Structure 1
Amino acid sequence: MRQISILGCGWLGLPLAKALLINGFSVKGSTTSEGKLSTLKSLSIDPFLIALNSKNITGAIEDFLNGSETLVIDIPPQLRGKNAETSTSNEKVFVEKIKTLIPYLEKSTIENVLFVSSTSVYGEINGKISEETVPKPDTESGKQLLEAESLLQNNLNFKSTILRFGGLIGEDRNPIKFLAGKQNLENPETPINFIHQDDSVGIILKIIASGSWNEIYNGVSPFHPERETYYTQKATELALPLPQFDHSKPSTGKLVLSDKVENVLGYSFIKTNL
């Protein structure tokens, strides 16, 4: 039986693990929450309590990796909010975590790494964005993600594919819940760059099934209505207060293309209307 390890069985990693089990894989899954171990085990996921730190890793990381050919890394940087990872120095906490992990990968059975990244690595470039666009991150998380991408891609001990997702949405997750009723929102005409949870899982499955390694893919739905149009419609559907947009300044922003996912990887999107 083929075995895959998923570092981070959270909002995306858990449904991915379930889908991999359905597709005949055995799955090792990690969590930083001891209370979640029983949940993983009940789903037939081999559970591991693992936490990456900038100086070390707690948990049985060797056992988690060994026996698996592929590792999915889905641990986004936590650099903002009440649970933000902070440092007393100028240390790049997320980058240091990946640096700490890499020696364990080099000594393990892992041959392929799929790193879940973000379109935030492109920064606020205006216009159409493809995988050929040179990233210019302008946020700390974007900068650290891009550096982590390079660390993995430049390591010759394993093959790495980078998957840059747009805004992740699902049945229980949509930005309108935070924007409802807000005033003076900027960029009403800027296109959205979202992807549904189902398609996020589907693209990862397709990469693994086709062995598409040493690649970079943008994971964004080819559904790009303007922000005002989309959020107004979503607020109406959910009976939420309508957001109000500021039209006094020209809209700026990027449109992230998913042509490579469709034409090279051969993936067909499930959710064509978000």
Structure 2
Amino acid sequence: MAKISILGCGWLGLPLAKALLKKGFSVNGSTTSSEKISVLENAGLHPFLINVILSPVEGSLGNKSVSGIIETFLQESNTLIIDIPPKLRGPNKENFVGKIESLIPFIEKSSVENIIFVSSTSVYGEQNEIVTEESPLNPDTESGKQLVAAEQLLQSNDNFKTTVLRFGGLIGEERHPVKFLAGRENIDNPDAPINLIHQEDCIGIILKIIQNDSWNETFNAVTPFHPSRSTYYAQKAADLNLVSPKFNHKNTSVGKTISTNKIETILNYTFTKPNL
């Protein structure tokens, strides 16, 4: 039975692990919460408590260490899925690039040959253009900048093959940005296109990458459905019986349109939630 390790069994990682188990894989799953170990175990995973720790040191990357038996977590796994998003909001900001640097020596010494790194379309910044995987990277947020650096660290390493998966805004049955926007006023960029993707398609695309052995690739992963923000969120608020958000139409809207032509052609993937 082939084994896959998932670093980060959260909102996406845990249902992904369950989907892999149904496909016949053995799955090692990590969490940073001791309370969640039983959740992973009950789902059929081999659970591991793993945390990458960076002690801040002014003017440096900090003291890097990994807690937990990461060697066993990676043992006998051919594929590693890294799904640990940068935590760069609030007072406890982290050095995400330093975290990836800490992990690489363990991966190099393991049986892992292939990596899927979950990234974000924030690496492109904002512009009124159609964006493909060949578009220049121009992140305008700290999160986007650190994701670019992390992508490059992994893809430049010859000890393994890394496929980067750049997701747009993540939605699911219990997770939708309209819940945050409902009732708000004076919201910018009403005419900008949406670039969202449903959890089911996130999982479906990862399964396709593994099935097709699509390694050393970069894919944009956004549902090819791009109505304007104002149109989409007004309709979605009505569908969910929420107060419709109000947008500011005085200023010019800025927003990219993410092309997913590569996923549809190279992976031959058909989206299961095309209209969100």
Q: TM-score range by the shorter chain?
A: over 0.9
One-letter amino acid matched to 2:145: K
- Kindly indicate whether residue 37 of structure 2 is the aligned counterpart of residue 28 of structure 1: no
From 229, 232, 237, the equivalent of 2:231 is 229
SS at 1:100 equivalent: helix
**1:96-175 equivalent positions in 2, closer than 5 A:** 96-175=98-177
Quote the Cα distance in structure 2 between the aligned partners of 1:125 and 1:183: 23
Q: Cα offset for 1:126?
A: 2.1
Match of 2:81 in 1: 72
- Kindly indicate whether residue 212 of structure 2 is the aligned counterpart of residue 210 of structure 1: yes
From 246, 259, 274, the equivalent of 2:248 is 246
Give me the CA root mean square deviation: 0.8
Contact preservation (8 Å) 1:111, 1:157: yes
1:74-124 CA distance string (max 9 Å, x none):
000001036x434xxxxxx10000001000000000000000000000011
Contact preservation (8 Å) 1:32, 1:50: yes
Quote the Cα distance in structure 2 between the aligned partners of 1:102 and 1:249: 45
Contact preservation (8 Å) 1:48, 1:59: yes
**1:37-76 equivalent positions in 2, closer than 5 A:** 37-54=37-54, 55-76=64-85
Contact preservation (8 Å) 1:125, 1:136: no
Quote the Cα distance in structure 1 between the aligned partners of 2:9 and 2:252: 40
Contact preservation (8 Å) 1:184, 1:244: yes
**1:192-207 equivalent positions in 2, closer than 5 A:** 192-207=194-209
Q: Cα offset for 1:226?
A: 0.6
Q: Cα offset for 1:127?
A: 1.1
Q: Cα offset for 1:186?
A: 0.9
Q: Cα offset for 1:43?
A: 1.1
One-letter amino acid matched to 1:75: I
Further displaced range: 27-36 or 246-255: 246-255
One-letter amino acid matched to 2:251: K
One-letter amino acid matched to 1:67: E
Q: Cα offset for 1:251?
A: 1.2
1:139-185 CA distance string (max 9 Å, x none):
00100000000000000000000000000000000001110011111
Quote the Cα distance in structure 2 between the aligned partners of 1:168 and 1:52: 24
From 163, 176, 179, the equivalent of 2:178 is 176
One-letter amino acid matched to 1:81: G
Quote the Cα distance in structure 2 between the aligned partners of 1:52 and 1:74: 13
Quote the Cα distance in structure 2 between the aligned partners of 1:223 and 1:147: 29
**TM, length-normalised to structure 1:** 0.96
Give ranges in structure 1 of 5+ residues lacking alignment.
87-92
Quote the Cα distance in structure 2 between the aligned partners of 1:191 and 1:138: 18
Match of 1:90 in 2: none
- Extract structure 1 runs of 4+ deviating beyond 4 A: none
SS at 2:139 equivalent: coil
Q: Cα offset for 1:125?
A: 2.4
SS at 1:56 equivalent: strand
From 81, 85, 93, the equivalent of 2:90 is 81
Quote the Cα distance in structure 2 between the aligned partners of 1:11 and 1:85: 20
Contact preservation (8 Å) 1:120, 1:142: yes
